[in-house]
Amino acid sequence: MSLVDRLKKAIGLSPFHDPLVADLQKALSPDRVLEDYEERLLHSKDESVFEGGLAGPVCFPLTTEEVQSIMKIAQRHDRDVIPRGAGSGLAGGAIPLGAPVVVALTKMNNIIEVDIENRIAWVEPGVINLELSDHLRPMGFHYAPDPSSQQICTIGGNVANNSGGPHCLADGVTDTHVLAIEVVLPDGEVTQFGGLDPEPDGLDLRGAFIGSEGTLGIATKIAVRLTANPEAVKTILISFPTMRAAAETVSAVIAGGIVPAAMEAMDQRTIEVIENHVPAGYPKDAGAVLLVEVEGLPDGIEIDAERICEIAEKHQAEDIRIAQNSWQRDALWKGRKSAFGASTYISPNYYLHDTVVPRSALADVLDQVNAIASENDLTIMNVFHAGDGNLHPLLLFDAEEEGTLERVHAVGAEIVRISLEAGGVLSGEHGIGIEKQQFMNDLFSDEDLNHQNRLRFAFDPLCRINPGKVLPQGHSCADIQTLQKPPEGVWV
């Protein structure tokens, strides 16, 4: 044992001596099965605020066969497994509970084939979302779902979380754009869900897998649909005196039968933070702005853009800017895309929430959310996918300040309650993970959850993949005895 390891052991941060590591290293290679403390610590977290994860050995497979081997070895050693992409998830989906083998798919990052005739691309799960679109764009296509984290998140993670993004309003979220998935099942068998044909035989296991947060198997190859680049795009920034006026415009646009390609909202504090730190030319005195984009053929988008502007004007729009070229368009989007990053200039920590409400309830719900935050003395930024009613209240805080995190969680619980009361749901894109398990009983009956558990069970009867997630305590795969306790034979 090295001196560093001995020191770590002395202070309770001991190296990991896991009996299955030798088998894993033999199946992969020693440099792709890591068991040192730093590596495991790094892989015990995601981008959420949750602590308490405990990673087992971290494997970096390169092929489907290697993923199969990992599954089989884990099974032989009676150990759990957790798939992991970039770790950018915000609900704790990739946080390992009970020292499972971490299957990090980031090295399986090849775009295997772009098949223009079938309008699909086969990719490995570790391909970065933006890199896929950048690869496709010169060919006249792109991959439509564009999460704000697209520079870092993986297609595998997107599939697991059924991720969305600003441009999913008209085109649909991940589920609409994934046709087939090669999956390694918990017992190490490999199979394909879905197909390139429009109506594959049998049950839609593809549909059940997407959004299952890494609990049903490991995606090792994904066939995504190629979306044709639009012939014309119009990007409009509309400012309003209040967020209420902006939110009412969103409802009115949808009610008017227009589904723009994107319709994003930002509140006054967000505009201020953007303009102070990463200026994008947003009107600093506005109470809220909407960033609306319409795509399609040149004449049609003129008609839609005109109608959207008319509707906005009826709802107190103050200033309407239409990007005249791609440079101006990029500038308008730059503000939206930099908003989260900019928040770090004014606060060391953030907690990004994610609920969905009916679009007609947006204005009222936002009022309530803001009131709860200010009652609890928390700063809040609202920057969100308004077009589909997907709220993203961003709570800013300093974790060093005692008691703050408790207040953040309390406000989070209130945001969930307000959203459900308005007829909404727990999450629009981040998933349940460990963040919202305790609220699942508020959305579903016991019988509903029992049926969800049956689905989980049919894929993973032994609860080996990512246990302790999604379903609340009381359902079989949710019952991890103690989150920190390592399995038999493992010392930490």
Partner 1 sequence: MASVIDHALEEFAAEVGPVGPIAIQGGKTRWDANGVPIPEARLLSAPTGIVTYKPEEMIVTARAGTTVEDLHTHLKEHGQRTGLPDRGGTIGGAIAVGENDLNVLGKGRVRDAVLQIRYISADGEIISSGAPVVKNVSGFNLHKLLVGSFGTLGLIAEVTLRTNPVPAETMWLTAAITDPIKIFDSLYKPAAILWDGRTIWVQLEGHKPDVEKQQETLSQIGNFEQVERGPELPQHRWSLPPADLYTISNYKTGRFVASIGVGTVWAEHPQPLRTPDRGKQIIEERLKQQFDPTNRLNPGRKIGNWN
Ligand X SMILES: Cc1cc2nc3c(=O)[nH]c(=O)nc-3n(C[C@H](O)[C@H](O)[C@H](O)COP(=O)(O)OP(=O)(O)OC[C@H]3O[C@@H](n4cnc5c(N)ncnc54)[C@H](O)[C@@H]3O)c2cc1C
**Extended strands (E) in 271-342:** 288-296, 319-322
Residue selected from 336, 359, 392, 464 as contacting partner 1 according to rule CB under 8 A: 359
Instruction: Give the torsion sign (CA, 216, 199, 390, 347).
Output: positive
Q: Classify the phi-psi angles of 91: left when phi > 0, otherwise alpha if psi is within -120 to 50, otherwise beta.
A: alpha
Picked from partner 1, ligand X, none, the partner binding residue 382 (CB below 5 to 8 A depending on kind) is none
Picked from partner 1, ligand X, none, the partner binding residue 402 (CB below 5 to 8 A depending on kind) is none
> Shortest approach of ligand X to residue 1 CB, angstroms?
31
Picked from partner 1, ligand X, none, the partner binding residue 254 (CB below 5 to 8 A depending on kind) is partner 1
List the structure tokens of 60.
């970096």
- Gap between the Cα atoms of 270 and 262, Å rounded: 18
List the structure tokens of 260.
């723009």
Residue selected from 380, 430, 467, 478 as contacting partner 1 according to rule CB under 8 A: 430
Q: Which residues, numbered 16-55, are part of the site for partner 1 (CB under 8 A)? A: none
Residue selected from 8, 452, 485, 487 as contacting partner 1 according to rule CB under 8 A: 452
Picked from partner 1, ligand X, none, the partner binding residue 249 (CB below 5 to 8 A depending on kind) is none
Q: Which residues, numbered 266-325, are part of the site for partner 1 (CB under 8 A)? A: 296-297, 299-300, 303-304
Contact between 254 and partner 1 (CB under 8 A)? yes
Cβ distance to partner 1 smaller for residue 57 or 89: 89
Residue selected from 429, 468, 478, 490 as contacting partner 1 according to rule CB under 8 A: 429
- Gap between the Cα atoms of 251 and 256, Å rounded: 8
Which parts of this chain interact with ligand X (CB under 6 A)? Answer: 46-47, 82-90, 93-94, 105, 125, 147-149, 153-154, 156-158, 160-161, 163-165, 213-214, 218-219, 340, 429-430, 466
Contact between 139 and partner 1 (CB under 8 A)? no
- Gap between the Cα atoms of 67 and 212, Å rounded: 19
Q: Which residues, numbered 326-355, are part of the site for partner 1 (CB under 8 A)? A: none
> Shortest approach of partner 1 to residue 463 CB, angstroms?
14
Picked from partner 1, ligand X, none, the partner binding residue 82 (CB below 5 to 8 A depending on kind) is ligand X
Which positions ≥6 away from 482 have C-beta within 8 Å?
none
Distances (CA, A) of 485 to 98, 284, 491: 6, 51, 10
- Gap between the Cα atoms of 485 and 100, Å rounded: 11
Cβ distance to partner 1 smaller for residue 54 or 159: 159
Q: Which residues, numbered 150-189, are part of the site for partner 1 (CB under 8 A)? A: 161-162, 164, 168, 172-173, 175-176, 185, 189
Q: Parallel, antiparallel, or unpaired: how do β-strands 58-59 and 101-104 relate?
A: parallel
Phi and psi torsions of 371, nearest 5°: -65, -45
Picked from partner 1, ligand X, none, the partner binding residue 303 (CB below 5 to 8 A depending on kind) is partner 1
Total interface residues for partner 1 by CB under 8 A:
91
Helix axes 326-343, 268-277, angle to 10 degrees: 100
Which positions ≥6 away from 222 have C-beta within 8 Å?
122, 123, 124, 125, 155, 156, 159, 178, 180, 181, 182
Beta partners for residue 3, in sequence order: none
Residue selected from 97, 265, 426, 463 as contacting partner 1 according to rule CB under 8 A: 426
Q: Which of 193, 342, 350, 188 is nearest to 276 (CA)?
A: 342
Which positions ≥6 away from 442 have C-beta within 8 Å?
416, 417, 420, 426
Picked from partner 1, ligand X, none, the partner binding residue 425 (CB below 5 to 8 A depending on kind) is partner 1
Contact between 365 and partner 1 (CB under 8 A)? no
CB 142 within 8 A of CB 184: no
Element of type H or E holding 355: strand 355-356
- Gap between the Cα atoms of 57 and 482, Å rounded: 19
> Shortest approach of partner 1 to residue 42 CB, angstroms?
26
Cβ distance to ligand X smaller for residue 218 or 396: 218
Q: Which of 298, 307, 336 is nearest to 167 (CA)?
A: 336
Q: Parallel, antiparallel, or unpaired: how do β-strands 379-384 and 33-34 relate?
A: unpaired
Cβ distance to ligand X smaller for residue 86 or 120: 86
Contact between 230 and partner 1 (CB under 8 A)? yes
> Shortest approach of partner 1 to residue 185 CB, angstroms?
6
Our CA angle for 156, 223, 130, nearest 5°, is 55
Residue selected from 14, 118, 338, 368 as contacting partner 1 according to rule CB under 8 A: 118
Cβ distance to partner 1 smaller for residue 342 or 363: 363
Picked from ligand X, partner 1, none, the partner binding residue 53 (CB below 5 to 8 A depending on kind) is none
Q: Which residues, numbered 57-116, are part of the site for partner 1 (CB under 8 A)? A: 115
Cβ distance to partner 1 smaller for residue 118 or 316: 118
CB 143 within 8 A of CB 137: no
Count how many residues are written for the chain: 492
Cβ distance to partner 1 smaller for residue 174 or 268: 174
- Residue 62's CB: how many other CB atoms inside 10 A? 17
Cβ distance to partner 1 smaller for residue 211 or 287: 211
Cβ distance to ligand X smaller for residue 184 or 245: 184
Contact between 207 and partner 1 (CB under 8 A)? yes
